[in-house]
Chain A
Amino acid sequence: MIEVQGLTKQYGPVTAIRDVSFRVEPGQVVGFLGPNGAGKSTTMRILSCFMPASGGSARVAGYDVLTQSMEVRRRIGYLPESVPLYTDLRVAPYLDFVAEVKGLARGERRRRVAEVMDRCLIGDVQNRLIGKLSKGYRQRVGLAQALVSDPEVLILDEPTIGLDPRQITEIRSLIKALAGRHTVILSTHILPEVSMVCSGGVVIINKGAIVAQGPIETLVEQFFPTARVEVEVIGPPAAVREMMRAIPGVVSVHDEAITNGAGRYVVESSRDRDIRAEISRLAAQQQWSLLELKRVGTTLEEVFIRIVAGEETTAEAGEDAAP
């Protein structure tokens, strides 16, 4: 539904994105993840036909964003990062304007506007000036204008930024409900959001380049091939380390912190084995007091930090190496 091939954008001398390629399959909600300044908004502005790329191509709903921009625009709903709305218009007339510009006939327009206000929970403010609305309501009006033409593809740039926790939850459940009927690409720099909302996987961008993409579990396994168990135990550190290392399947043991006897260790093992039973048996045998034993899931967060931090360390190393 969205195919991006080698997309590059230059703002004068600044290269905002370079050689970006990814795909989004129909009906999926895909997260576009990256730190601030990574090039998320730039990519979305190109996808939404707001501005042309400097190189590469992008197809949305089967049409090229540059050469068939009208066809693309008819099939998308876009919510820019800043949620730009006409603050001097009232909610319902504004949505009616958007519906008309998007080519909906009068009767259909009234029905769609009512429907979308209902769905975005803004019916109670339909006669209020947009400029007088709270940030949460404004965000929902922004989402409503994207949805009003019932588009195939939704391009949402940081749809939950600047909202309070309750509003974030509301917007997220709204977006989650879009999966299946719409293809959604939503950008964010909030990691948990992706695992919560993006059933269709994630595309990670950093410094203008795609660094990873795919379903979240696959990415986690790819970046963290081992399972991890956190152990807190009172016992002689050297022995604890050695004996846990000797358990079959364990690939490494790190100690996190050792304070007056109690040590906290992270044990990594191959993913197909659960070594918790063996650790507790070992502790009993050796008469160590086992204070805590838990599996730590490797999350997207850690993947992301590893990718972004990894890039930074290599970049810094490169800079250091240079005279």
Chain B
Amino acid sequence: MRVWAIFKKELRLYFTSPVAYVVFTIFLLIAGYFFYNIFAFFTLASMQSAMNPAMARDLNVTDGVMRPLFSNVSVILLLLMPLLTMRLFAEERRSGTIELLLTYPVRDGAVLLGKYAAALVLYASMLALTLLYPGIVAYFVRLEAGPLLTGYLGLVLMGATFIAVGVFASSLTENQIVASITTFGILLIFWILGWSADYAGGAAGKLLQHLSIIEHNESFARGVLDTKDIIYYVDFTVLALFLTLRSLETRRWKG
């Protein structure tokens, strides 16, 4: 299995450089801080409701806690994910190893798939580690499993899109920093598109809202699964991967 060989090589390379470790550490620390805040919020809220039972009813966990949590985590991902994908093609190009890789009997698509899968698995394991936190919180207070699960699914889908964009940017240059900034730029543009949706209004506003990469994550955090959102992320990912293939092909012509 040639995709498998490339996948294994990429994962191995991830753990030979400090980047993955640093990203993991920072992400886990920050995510931990967010969960700590939830825990603190719950402790405070439950103390208040013990004193004033009427308040307990107003305590909306999903809106008050989960949504800000997942939206905060999204911002961290926006900042960190470009660092996980910048190396994938840029470094092969800089060091010249791409010249060997692309003359082995593997299709460009298989190379891309192997690399994409490696980044995705890395990201998924990073997310999986944060499951520890809701685990701890759930030990002390009651957490709703539904919004938590859909929230995580939303993060996986959004992260998959981030990675696809990152792989694409990495295929455009031999400079990892440029790849990382390009990824961040593209993601940020799609992130802020939604902001102007309100002013634009009408059909244009609807379109902008639909294109916004963060808008589609909202419903997941609310515990709602909407196929429209899932399709958005899948489409975005497929398009970015398709463009990566085209970019690899054009780069071959230039040598």
Contacts and interface: CB of A to CB of B under 8 A. Distances in A.
A, B from the same assembly: yes
A89 B13 contact: yes
Given A50-B102, A88-B16, A101-B104, A45 B2 contact: no
Given A88-B16, A89-B13, A145-B100, A50 B255 contact: yes
Contacts of B13: 86, 88-89
A87 B255 contact: no
B97 A84 contact: yes
Interface in B82-106: 95-106
Given A45-B255, A102-B105, A84 B100 contact: yes
Nearest to A88: B16
Interface residues of B, number: 28
Interface residues of A, number: 30
Contacts of B100: 78, 80, 84, 145
Given A100-B5, A101-B2, A101-B5, A76 B103 contact: yes
B198 to A, nearest CB: 47
B8 interface: yes
B252 A88 contact: no
A73 B104 contact: yes
Interface string A213-246: 0000000000000000000000000000000000
A78 B97 CA distance: 12
A249 B212 CA distance: 90
B17 interface: yes
Contact of B252 (A42, A51, A97): A51
A297 B101 CA distance: 44
A100 B99 contact: no
A86 B9 contact: yes
A52 B105 contact: no
Contact of B255 (A42, A49, A73): A42
Contacts of B255: 9, 11, 42, 45, 50-51
B81 interface: no
Given A73-B104, A74-B105, A80 B99 contact: yes
Contacts of B253: 51-52
Contacts of A102: 104-105
A103 B105 contact: yes
Interface string B7-36: 011001100110000000000000000000
A85 interface: yes
A84 B6 CA distance: 16
A70 B95 contact: no
Nearest to B110: A101
Interface string A34-62: 00000000100100111110000000000
A86 B13 CA distance: 9
Contacts of B252: 50-52
Contacts of B98: 84
Contacts of A70: 105, 107
Interface of B: 1-2, 4-6, 8-9, 12-13, 16-17, 95-107, 252-255
Interface of A: 9, 11, 42, 45, 48-52, 70, 73-74, 76, 78, 80, 82, 84-89, 93, 97-98, 100-103, 145
27 contacts: A11-B254, A42-B255, A45-B255, A48-B103, A50-B255, A51-B252, A51-B253, A51-B255, A73-B105, A80-B96, A82-B96, A82-B99, A84-B96, A84-B97, A84-B98, A85-B97, A86-B95, A87-B95, A88-B16, A89-B13, A89-B16, A97-B9, A98-B104, A100-B5, A101-B2, A101-B101, A102-B104
* 9 A-B pairs with least C-beta separation: A84-B96, A100-B5, A88-B16, A73-B105, A84-B97, A74-B105, A48-B103, A51-B255, A101-B104
